[in-house]
Structure 1
Amino acid sequence: MILPRQRGLTEQAADAAIDSAFRLLRLPSIRNEFSDIADRAMKDQMTYRGFLAELLMTECDDRSRRRSERRIKAAGFPREKSLRAFDFDTNPNIDAATIHTLASCEWIKKSQPLCLIGDSGTGKSHLLIALGTEAAMKGYRVRYTLATKLVNELVEAADEKQLNKTIARYGRVDLLCIDELGYMELDRRGAELLFQVLTEREEKNSAAIASNESFGGWTKAFTDPRLCAAIVDRLTFNGTIIETGTDPYRLATTRARAEQAPTG
């Protein structure tokens, strides 16, 4: 399609030609904002370059916003959570500065893991979703899943001889958020498949885990002690551990660690 070009267009004809061009070039944001930007340009006596910059930045900003929205939707978060809405005052054990540092997503860039450990109702899932959302907004591919749902999916994929394809799909995301690890016991096969997913992601992707059990209690989910130790090592090596637990929970965790510590 070639648009007719004429000199001395009337204002009405010019507006029609501009609208047609925006549609042809697929510039919906500029098309929607053009009149307001043009009026503002006249009022502020912008240069032609300044006016063009305003138009282009409007389109770029809106496209960036829409890409972020698509990545957030693709992540599969069960609900909307943000760091702005998190109440740090209700849980002074969580360091706000540490969380906001994590929001920069440098740990994802370095393919490092994150563990959020604490009892129920202490903000683990909120922080997991909020940090995952921050990552999606910064351009990272994110996927959220419950631990039991992921394990069931892996077992079904293995039964249907689609395991490699499923693991590869999870391997393509930059950040895998696994929630509610430790709520239910995982059979040996499921635990091994979960470990395989985490292993396949090593050195190129990050995993963020939220668990209501301290590491000492993960043997309830992973009945094989050696496999449990391997998963803990995988997640804690060069990773960040955030304890969201209440004071009684943290005290119990400290006691459990002391009881597990070697003697002599």
Structure 2
Amino acid sequence: MLDLLQLYTGFPFHKHLDDFDFTFQPSIDVKKIKELKTLRFMYEKENVIFLGPPGVGKTHLAVGLGMEGIKEGKKVYFINSITLVDKLKKSFYERSFEKQMRFYKALDLLIIDELGYLPLDSEGAKLFFELISEKYEQGSVIVTSNRSFNEWNKIFEDEVIATAVLDRLLHHSTIINIRGKSYRLREKQKSGMIRLDTSKIIDENAQN
């Protein structure tokens, strides 16, 4: 069953919100997560943005919300941002772009993971913007990113496109800005094997 769920949803793993260790990430407003768990944002076609350095649990939370949507019978799909853009490019060249867009538009929730780890070229940025425009007020999008909003022009290499994407994503949205340490490194940190502070990403927009 889990294998089929992974096949049709694209989830990289199956984790739930109840599995998340909020005591390790005290910067997270648990009340906001509980509100998101009600899926009101999905019924109202709003978006969720998880910001923070690598390893702080952004993907876990995104998948957890996706799993809640699956329980409610919602159409949910998870995809890495670079893979998404590659698929959009391929469908554009193969003249199946409209069909691809219909798939994404029909989803109740599209989860786009790791936006910002690699920059998008001009073509990829334009196609990504077109997708976000199609989803705007038609379905929910969750985005996880390691970059603050004022750095998104570096992702898209075009300030105009970055602004246009943010305008649509943030119009109806909940922003969760995580300032914490990496789960993956915490055991090594406890043992004193490494010393690494990954809590440097701070987003002024998350305060608004």
Q: Same fold (TM over 0.5)?
A: yes
- Residues 204 and 70 (structure 1 numbering): CA distance in 2 closer, same or farther, change over 3 Å? farther
Q: Distance in 1 between the 2:100 and 2:21 partners?
A: 37
Aligned length: 190
User: What is the one-letter code of the residue matched to 1:76?
Assistant: G
2:87 pairs with 153, 161, 168, which one? Answer: 153
> Which whole-Å deviations, capped at 9, do the CAs of 1:102-128 have from their partners, x for residues lacking one?
011010100111100000111100001
Q: What SS does the corresponding residue of 1:120 show, helix, strand or coil?
A: coil
The answer on whether the counterparts of 2:109 and 2:139 sit within 8 Å (CA) in structure 1 is yes
Counterpart for residue 166 of structure 2 = 232
Q: Does 1:253 align with 2:202?
A: yes
The runs of 4+ residues in structure 1 deviating greater than 3 Å are 68-73, 247-252
Tell me the distance in 2 between the aligned counterparts of 1:70 and 1:109: 25
TM-score (norm 1): 0.67
Give the letter aligned to residue 145 of structure 1: I
Structure 1 CA distance for aligned equivalents of residues 202 and 31 of structure 2? 23
Structure 1 residues 230 and 249, CA gap change in structure 2 (3 angstroms)? farther
Partner residue of 1:181 out of 92, 107, 115: 115
Map of 2:176 onto structure 1: 242
* 1:1-264 paired onto structure 2 within 5 Å: 74-246=8-180, 253=202
SS across alignment from 2:19: coil
> Relative contact order: is structure 1 or structure 2 higher (C-alpha 8 Å, sep ≥ 6)?
2
CA distance in 2: counterparts of 1:236 and 1:69, whole angstroms: 33
Shift of 1:95: 1.4
Q: Is the 8 A contact 2:114 2:145 kept in 1?
A: yes
Counterpart residue type for residue 168 of structure 1: R
State how far apart, in whole Å, the 2-side matches of 1:229 and 1:96 are.
Answer: 29
What residue identity is the alignment partner of 2:136? E
CA distance in 1, matches of 2:80, 2:201: 25
Deviations 1:196-242 (A, max 9, x none): 11111122201000001111121221101000011111111121000
Residue in 2 aligned with 1:5?
A: none
Q: Structure 2 CA distance, aligned partners of 1:137 and 1:73?
A: 16
* DSSP-derived class of the 1:122 partner: coil
Please give the alpha-carbon distance, in whole angstroms, between the structure 2 residues aligned to 1:251 and 1:121: 13
- Determine if contact 2:6/2:13 at 8 Å carries over to the other structure: no
Of residues 145-154 and 241-250 in structure 1, the stretch that sits farther from structure 2 once superposed is 241-250
- The one-letter amino acid paired with 1:124 is K
Given that residues 53 and 199 in structure 2 are in contact (C-alpha distance below 8 angstroms), is that contact kept between their aligned partners in structure 1?
Answer: no
The TM-score with structure 2 as length reference comes to 0.85
Unaligned runs of 5+ in 2: 182-196
Q: Relative to 1, partners in 2 of residues 1:69 and 1:104: Cα closer, same or farther, differing over 3 Å?
A: farther
Which has the higher Rg, Structure 1 or Structure 2? 1
Structure 1 residue 69, shift from structure 2 partner: 9.3
In structure 1, the gaps of 5 or more residues are 1-65, 258-264
**Could you report, residue by residue, the CA deviation over 1:95-151 in whole angstroms, capped at 9, with x for unpaired residues?**
112101101101010011110000011110000100111111111100000000000
Cα distance in 2, alignment partners of residues 193 and 175 from structure 1: 19
> In structure 1, the residue corresponding to 2:151 is in which secondary structure?
helix
Structure 2 SS opposite 1:89: coil
User: Which protein is richer in helix relative to its size?
Assistant: 1
| Contact residue 47 and residue 174 of structure 2 kept, 8 A | yes
Structure 1 CA distance for aligned equivalents of residues 165 and 76 of structure 2: 21
Measure how far apart 1:246 and its partner are.
2.6
Is the contact made by 1:143 and 1:176 (CA closer than 8 Å) also made in structure 2?
yes
